[in-house]
């Protein structure tokens, strides 16, 4: 096998090599396809389907354009995995479910896929996921469950719901992955696979052409090797290719050293939540989190421990939750005719929304507005909110066979990241250095619309933790 790129290579480095002519898109694509084939043809359950011929044709077209002197985006020629809930013209969208086994091919691309195509992305295949995106663990009884690359012999989950997206990037079957985040579905798998995931402010990226979990909370974004990678993809998804190109050029041209980037931490003020998010944190996660905080403090950050009392009421506020109520609305016809085709655990969560009334839904909308206002007041004057992305290491699949164990682990995985979705914020998960390379994520979160500042600050934090 000829290896054209190492797993987790930053996107700007790949784009620079392509621009310099030392690498071709076809070589990148063949490397990704060979890795997928070596792992059983589906990338070890990372993919539901692989479009090898289509990917090769896209790669050859990009190489031809580049040879002809065309000006291309930084994503041109880079292989991307597409989560199975996005429409791709000519392909069925199954959302990781047997319920949609007979789905007709999509007649047009989801808007985010259209934007990736326009940027020259090579669509390598449809990545696996928790059925209908309704789990933070990534277990799928229909198509198999992708594994975290950490201690693979122990068969640990890769995180959900964008499980295949993370697994594909961690193993070099794609340069980056397109996914979604409703309660942590980009950040949890990024944390469990040693990657970076960015959840943008909801509705900042168009959601047309994606099967919804919660029309209120869904966000579309990327899992990628670094913060800068996520920022480049985010700009493409947001319809700002020139900004994406500028980010890639600055990186490829030899941007500031890690120490210079980390200097941006000095004088920053971070809110360190002490209630709810630290409950039941596993020792390995706590040690990594504390070590990361110590590093940031040494670099000149001001760390302020604080209680956000509103968090103590979130469980009661979410008696039903947006995801169960809104997914019941979306699925109610299928649950009446195809209930046996669902993952029973997913169906149970969907049906939890059936008993909710219109009054319950309006009460939740009103309560959320109050929580968002509380958050805006509580976090005013802070540059970011820091917490562990998930309070535990990725659990072993064999330990989740019983429903009670599964639902307990699922709730724990989703608890911290879902807070940011509920307050309508944005957030990164970046790897926190840990003993034995254990995958621990540090969440760097902000309020509504603070995407650019969180990405910039996340880049400085990433550099600080690695310098």
Catalytic residue flag (residue 161): yes
DSSP symbols for 133-171:
G--SS---TTT---B-SSSGGG-BB--SSSHHHHHHHHT
Residue 69, judged by CB atoms within 10 A of its CB (0-12, 13-18, 19+), counts as exposed
CA pair distance 319, 356, nearest whole angstrom: 9
What per-residue string of b and e applies to 10-40 under the rule 16 or more CB within 10 Å gives b?
bbbbbbbbbbeeebbbbbbbbbbbbbbeebe
Which residue carries 């360190």 as its tokens?
A: 272
Cα 292–chain centre separation: 21
Question: Which one from 185, 219, 327, 418 is the annotated catalytic residue?
Answer: 185
Distances (CA, A) of 27 to 4, 5, 79, 121: 6, 9, 10, 14
Q: Bridge-partner residues for 387, per DSSP?
A: 443
For 293, other C-beta atoms within 10 Å of its C-beta total 18
Question: Which one from 73, 161, 162, 327 is the annotated catalytic residue?
Answer: 161
Q: Bridge-partner residues for 147, per DSSP?
A: 157
Question: Which one from 8, 25, 81, 83 is the annotated catalytic residue?
Answer: 83
For residue 191, give the nearest of 263, 276, 261, 284 by alpha carbon.
284
Q: Which pair of structure tokens corresponds to residue 140?
A: 């799928």
Question: Is the distance from CB of 248 to CB of 11 less than 8 angstroms?
Answer: yes
DSSP symbols for 254-273:
T---HHHHHGGGTT-EEEEE
DSSP annotation of 335 reads: H
Question: Is the distance from CB of 195 to CB of 163 less than 8 angstroms?
Answer: no
Catalytic residue flag (residue 185): yes
Catalytic residues: 83, 161, 185
């Amino acid at each position: 096998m000829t290896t054209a790129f190492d797993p987790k290579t930053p996107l700007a480095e790949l784009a620079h090599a392509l621009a310099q002519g030392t690498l071709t898109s076809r070589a990148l694509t063949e490397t990704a396809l060979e890795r997928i084939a070596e792992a059983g043809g589906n990338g070890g359950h990372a993919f539901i389907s692989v479009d090898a011929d289509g990917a090769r044709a896209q790669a050859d077209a990009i190489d031809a354009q580049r040879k002809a002197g065309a000006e291309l985006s930084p994503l041109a020629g880079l292989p991307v995995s597409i989560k199975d809930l996005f429409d791709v013209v000519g392909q069925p969208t199954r959302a990781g479910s047997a319920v949609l086994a007979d789905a007709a091919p999509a007649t047009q691309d989801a808007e985010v896929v259209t934007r990736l195509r326009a940027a020259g992305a090579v669509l390598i295949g449809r990545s696996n996921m928790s059925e209908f995106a309704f789990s933070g663990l990534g277990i799928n009884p229909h198509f198999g469950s992708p594994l975290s690359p950490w201690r693979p012999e122990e068969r640990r989950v890769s995180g959900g719901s964008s499980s295949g997206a993370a697994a594909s990037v961690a193993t070099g079957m794609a340069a980056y992955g397109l996914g979604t985040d409703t309660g942590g579905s980009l950040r949890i798998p990024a944390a469990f696979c040693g990657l970076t995931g960015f959840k943008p402010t909801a509705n900042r990226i168009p959601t047309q052409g994606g099967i919804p979990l919660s029309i209120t909370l869904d966000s579309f974004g990327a899992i990628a090797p670094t913060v800068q990678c996520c920022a480049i993809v985010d700009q493409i998804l947001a319809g700002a290719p020139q900004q994406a190109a500028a980010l890639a050029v600055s990186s490829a041209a030899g941007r500031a050293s890690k120490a210079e980037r980390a200097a941006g931490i000095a004088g920053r003020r971070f809110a360190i939540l002490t209630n709810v998010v630290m409950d039941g944190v596993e020792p390995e996660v706590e040690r990594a989190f504390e070590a990361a905080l110590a590093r940031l403090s040494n670099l000149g950050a001001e760390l302020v421990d604080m209680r956000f009392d509103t968090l103590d009421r979130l469980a009661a506020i979410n008696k039903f939750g947006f995801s169960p109520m809104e997914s019941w609305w979306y699925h109610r016809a299928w649950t009446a005719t195809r209930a046996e085709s669902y993952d029973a655990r997913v169906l149970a969560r969907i049906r939890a929304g059936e008993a909710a009334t219109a009054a319950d839904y309006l009460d939740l909308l009103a309560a959320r507005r109050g929580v968002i206002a509380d958050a805006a007041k509580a976090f005013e004057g802070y540059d970011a909110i820091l917490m562990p992305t998930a309070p535990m290491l990725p659990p072993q699949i064999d330990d989740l066979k019983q429903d009670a164990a599964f639902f307990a682990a699922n709730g724990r995985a989703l608890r911290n990241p879902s807070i940011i979705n509920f307050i309508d914020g944005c957030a990164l998960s970046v790897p926190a250095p840990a003993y034995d390379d254990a995958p621990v994520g540090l969440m760097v979160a902000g309020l509504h619309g603070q995407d650019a500042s969180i990405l910039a600050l996340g880049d400085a934090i990433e550099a600080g933790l690695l310098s």
